[in-house]
Structure 1
């Protein structure tokens, strides 16, 4: 039993990762990382979540939920920045925790990340589908109800065909290589930010001040609406918006000079994303009473149409249709690198660690693409939005605590950090505690589903991963 427990703490040698990840071509610059991160952070979430969160949890106080989420995500971003500058490997938290705490804990962190990525792809695709359907409806084109949403027999929907098509299209694009993808991503993000600015300017002309009162509605007992309870519940759901941090870090091995480039990309993503979220949500809840956004996955375009700004609304829908692809690109790119890292380490079949002649882990890419197509076309949008935050928070906790194992090794068996998280040793603990509190605020369904997800992960690890891992093979050969 003692040997078995010691086995769980076997740590990966960083030199192994450096050698295997060398097949991935470094081509991403700071601007590319900001494009990937901002594309994810101000992706589906900025076009969809403010209205839903306002209606279900916060009322007009939705900007406060974004600010609270930004504080927690910002603390985690500082931890991510330091760790990625010391351990520039594919797989982000999975690889880092493997080096710092051991394979078992790396697997737990990675499995949480997989839930985050896997569900994020489906969530983003569902948001894209909602905007596409809204745009088509404005042209009086409507799909059969059975093909318009996740499995919901009461509403007559069974499969979201547009979500599946979106995921497949992005998978084909990414298979061509990361360098081409980053160019397309930067163009899309630039156009999207310009249109978001246009929504803010035009929307401000339709604001009715009475919609802001009461700014924090009283808490409704027995629900997650109103008061600070509602703001915290909204914060937990909004955390999906900050998945972009890990999406950036997952591509560290393909980044030029990651020691300096990665921290800059992470911090600028936080600053830009938070600013846009606060501005958009303030305008949105000022245009119409928050309750009117209930179950509306395209609130920004809806608000513009209801205000008579049809041209701007349709332009926003078109850009959302194209722009949400930037979020899909970022998260599918990151998730394929995580699956690659699992295969590289032998915790899943090593064939998934294969890199083709275009320097793309194509087998990992197509595995996550097809699975996400199934998930995104079957599960409802709001369910996915709640569940994805759980995986994000678990990853944030691991990376924050990882600073305590990382800092003593810097300059010894690991390189010196080019960026250091300030406030050590207090701030990493605050960061982990913050994410834990938000996790605790998730609804019961999200926590139960996350528990089941971890149970599946433990079964896979102890039945397959622990026996086939690279670390296990290395120790047996000694």
Structure 2
């Protein structure tokens, strides 16, 4: 037992174990489903809130560079995700991959980081949906009671009712099955992209060139605004916008043809997102001076209303909420599959790893929903927001470094990749370095909270996960069986030799 406890952290999971277990999940998601979930998750709360905030507080018109730099770093990692998902189309994405490549403990750390992302991201998007929906109600002269309009302890609030309801509704859609969630996502993503394109086309007509001057404002050491430093600070805040492709990888076990659908879904959704983010950002800062967006939680809708397009502003707000609903579907879907993977392996209580009669991880879904409701509906959320980026960046570093362990094993004890990351080994190295750089520039409190989350994760692993891991138990049984087999053969040989004498 002592040997097992000491070695379980680096004991690698076997490919066949995951492959057999995840076949119980229904393979129902196609390319359009993954593109819808990916684009819907990436192009959600962030595109309707972050461009104006980052422009006003960090980078000015150069906010577009913040989006592009963040996209480059995320893109480097996305190539690694695409290759790994074709070799190992397992539930749990980085958690399962790193467990196979580096060992159970390393996989747990990567998965624990992603779990923070999903819990907080679901709550974050639910809160964003609530804020936009309340602004729409205000235009109709409808105001919720204070106790039901804000999180507990915030401005006299007890529960954010809208956030609670939309998270539960999203969970019910996912509970009906990944395929239904994908179909809903496809419809809503099309509407959202059309609304964004409409905003860009209309916004271009009222752009004032002087709003772009200076494009890169001078750096202010006292506030951190402007210059290259301001652009990089913007990257750290914006990076959470690009985490959506991880939600695609987390559902790889439910892909109809993962060798084709995963690369297209991951890389395709990222390309679409970069184009839309850049267009919205450039138009937004051209319509009004960037300083006008300070403290504005809905800059896109505000910009249209201020420019005289009040009706279009309402339409965009409605579609924005629809887009956030798609993001909720993607995050809840991915989070429930990650919890299923933890339960499947015994790292968390086995009930999480059970599938219902339809082959869906309902217990994991319920857990994600309950935690997200508590965080998003009952507690102030702003102080945890950057944890989304912190958890994701840790997982990105693991996946990038994992490429150096994956390539030598492809075609040997692991399947050959149907898609290969270009410029290996340079690109994965740059992905790891870039992710570490962005993490280093996160807010100090975000890094502190991330550290506390990881400490909690290590404690849970030491107390529960390492003792109940089904992978290690299976490996020990297999080793014992081999030893018994060798002993039996040796005994038989000895008996034959004795008889021959």
TM-score by length of 2: 0.92
Deviation of 1:151 after TM superposition, in Å, equals: 4.8
Q: Does 1:137 find its partner at 2:138?
A: yes
Q: What is the rounded CA distance, in whole Å, between the counterparts of 2:101 and 2:224 in structure 1?
A: 38
What is the distance in 1 between the residues matched to 2:353 and 2:71?
34
Distance in 2 (CA, whole Å) between partners of 1:324 and 1:139 is 21
CA distance in 1, matches of 2:54, 2:130: 19
Looking at structure 2, the residues matched to 102 and 205 of structure 1 have their Cα atoms a distance apart, in angstroms, of 56
2:487 is aligned to none
Give, in angstroms, the shift of residue 188 of structure 1.
0.5
* Aligned length, in residue pairs: 477
Kept in 2: contact 1:123–1:381 (CA 8 A):
yes
* Aligned residues of 2:4 and 2:472 also touching (Cα < 8 A): no
| Residues 112 and 391, structure 1, Cα contact 8 Å, conserved in 2 | yes
Show the counterpart of 2:323.
323
In the alignment, the residues of structure 2 paired with residue 152 and residue 404 of structure 1 have an alpha-carbon distance, to the nearest angstrom, of 48
Secondary structure in structure 2 of the residue aligned to 1:396: helix
Alpha carbons 2:410, 2:417 under 8 Å: kept: yes
Q: Label 1:384 to 1:296 Cα distance change in 2 as closer, same or farther (>3 A).
A: farther
Cα offset, 1:5, TM superposition: 4.2
Aligned pairs (5 A) from 1:53-202 = 53-151=54-152, 153=154, 155-202=155-202
Question: 1 CA distance for matches of 2:411 and 2:184?
Answer: 38
Matches within 5 A, 1:436-451: 436-451=436-451
Alpha carbons of 1:188 and 1:466: their partners in 2 closer, same or farther (altered >3 Å)? same
Do structure 1's residue 307 and structure 2's residue 315 form an aligned pair? no
Task: After TM superposition, give the deviation of residue 378 of structure 1 in Å.
Answer: 3.8
Instruction: Answer whether contact 1:54 1:293 (CA < 8 A) is retained.
Output: yes
SS at match of 2:424: coil
- Conservation of the 8 A alpha-carbon contact between 2:375 and 2:381: no
- Give the C-alpha shift of residue 307 in structure 1: 1.4
Structure 2: distance between partners of 1:8 and 1:386: 28
Question: Is the 1:63–1:278 Cα contact (8 Å) retained in structure 2?
Answer: yes
Task: Compute the displacement of 1:323 (Å).
Answer: 1.9
Structure 1 equivalent of residue 364 of structure 2: 364
CA separation in 1, counterparts of 2:9 and 2:359? 32
- 1:186-219 per-position Cα deviation (integer Å, ceiling 9, x unaligned): 0000111011101111111222222222222222
Task: For 2:145 and 2:218, locate their aligned partners in 1 and report how far apart those are by CA, in whole Å.
Answer: 41
Deviates more, 1:384-393 or 1:174-183: 384-393
- Written as runs of structure 1 = structure 2, the 5 A alignment for 1:213-252 is 213-252=213-252
> CA separation of 1:390/1:224 partners in 2, compared to 1, >3 Å: closer, same or farther?
farther
> Do the aligned partners of 1:240 and 1:385 also contact (CA within 8 Å) in 2?
no
Counterparts in 2 of 1:156 and 1:191: CA distance versus 1, 3 Å: same
Quick check: 398-407 or 198-207, which moved more? 198-207
Q: Kindly state the Cα deviation for residue 360 of structure 1 after the two structures are TM-superposed.
A: 1.4
Distance 1:321 1:427 in 2: 36
Q: How large is the Cα RMSD of the aligned pairs?
A: 1.5
Give the C-alpha shift of residue 387 in structure 1: 2.2
Partner of 1:389: 389
Asked if the contact 1:127/1:381 (under 8 Å) is kept, the reply is no
Task: Identify if the C-alpha distance between structure 1 residues 469 and 446 changes in structure 2 by more than 3 Å, giving closer, same or farther.
Answer: same
Q: Is the 8 A contact 1:239 1:392 kept in 2?
A: no
Cα distance change of structure 1 residues 146 and 303 upon mapping to structure 2, 3 Å threshold: farther
Give the distance between the partners of 1:427 and 1:338, measured in 2 at CA. Answer: 27
Higher mean C-alpha deviation, range 301-310 or range 285-294 = 285-294
Question: Alpha-carbon deviation of 1:45?
Answer: 1.1
> Partner residue of 2:270?
270
Kindly provide the CA deviation profile for residues 47-94 of structure 1, in whole angstroms up to 9, marking residues without a partner as x: 111112212211221111110001000000000011001001000000
Correspondence for 1:344: 344
Indicate the residue corresponding to 2:12 in structure 1.
Answer: 11
Cα shift readout 1:384-403 (whole Å, capped 9, x = no counterpart)? 43221111111111100000
SS in 2 for 1:112: helix
Deviates more, 1:226-235 or 1:433-442: 226-235
Structure 1 pair 222–370 and aligned structure 2 pair: CA distance change class (3 A): same
Q: Deviations over 1:74-132 (max 9, x none)?
A: 00000001100100100000000000000000000000000111111111111111110
Q: Matches of 1:383 and 1:134 in 2, distance apart?
A: 22
Measured after TM superposition, the shift of residue 149 of structure 1 is: 3.4
Specify whether residues 84 and 296 from structure 1 end up closer, same or farther in structure 2 by C-alpha distance, changes over 3 A only.
same
Larger radius of gyration: 2
Aligned residues of 1:122 and 1:384 also touching (Cα < 8 A) = no
